[in-house]
Amino acid sequence: MLADARREALDVYRSFARGELALTLRQDGCAADSSTARSERAPAIDQRGTPIEAPSWAAVGLLSLLDVTRCPGRTGDVEHQRCIELLERAIAERSPLAVGPVLDRYLRNLDRVALLRRGSPISAVADRRSSWLDVALDAPHSPVEFIPLSIFTRRFFRHDLPALIGSPTAVDAFHYHRENDKATELRELHADLAACAVRFQYFIDASGLTEIVLDRAAIGRAESAFAAALFCRYNGIRHATLDGVPISLGAGSG
């Protein structure tokens, strides 16, 4: 059964790598780059015309990343392979696997995580480009960029984003309820965040990916570094860089 799941997952993966999976974002009629794996705001269609739901779409992106970063014989490679098998099975069965737990296992298994700022799908809209920033995992040999983190200004997340994606109630979904905000958990675990001057919310979306909302007018270098540090803390990442610059995991202000 696992062999069949692997073959089916790889079929989907190869089609994805060849660009046969059409990715569209309902944002002012603008299409996103088909080489970028995003969250549930990016519905995809496979080569058979079958919709790929958000968790499956994210699983394809994460599988492509893990497939090129495996290192046989390395300490922890068994865990790495287990993550690949979980994703392959989910893709083959079209099961609604949220990739968060698998991503968490993968990240905790790394000595260092390299993150890259990647702008946003609406970067062409001048008055909004500083309101949404995507952050990718650096994997030069992967055919796609996997986006585990998106950062938003509070105003954009609450007021502009629902209109852009054509869903006025999007931010009222269960995943964004106050009880699912991980900010409280982070403040309890890290004393410096309790006194942090930056108000933030930390959500895990339907795909299991991270969305951080900052009470700031724009997402600049300092804000993205702060959010990246929150992401690292929540995922137990000990050493990380953002655009090649080491991320300080001891500072609670940005």
User: Over the stretch 216-251, which tens digit does the pLDDT of each residue have?
Assistant: 999 999 999 999 999 999 999 989 999 999 998 864
Q: Which residue has the higher pLDDT, 237 or 90?
A: 237
DSSP lists the bridge partners of residue 43 as none
Q: What does the chain come to in residues?
A: 254
Q: What is the mean pLDDT of residues 146-155?
A: 92
DSSP lists the bridge partners of residue 132 as 152
| Range list of β-strands (E), 79-217 | 113-117, 132-137, 145-146, 149-153, 200-204, 210-214
Q: What is the mean pLDDT of residues 25-51?
A: 42
Q: Which residue has the higher pLDDT, 243 or 206?
A: 243
Q: Which pLDDT score is estimated for 7?
A: 60
Q: Which of 33-47, 93-107, 109-123, 198-212 is the least confident region?
A: 33-47
Q: Which pLDDT score is estimated for 92?
A: 74
pLDDT at 82 exceeding the cut of 70: yes
Q: What is the mean pLDDT of the chain?
A: 74
**Integer angstrom CA distances of residue 252 from 3, 210, 241:** 46, 19, 17
Q: What is the mean pLDDT of residues 42-60?
A: 58
Element (H, E) at 174: none
DSSP lists the bridge partners of residue 241 as 114, 246
pLDDT at 197 exceeding the cut of 50: yes
Model pTM? 0.76
Pick the closest to residue 91 from 206, 12, 170 (CA basis): 12
User: pLDDT category, 253, cuts 50, 70, 90?
Assistant: very low
pLDDT at 204 exceeding the cut of 60: yes
Coil/strand/helix, residue 181: coil
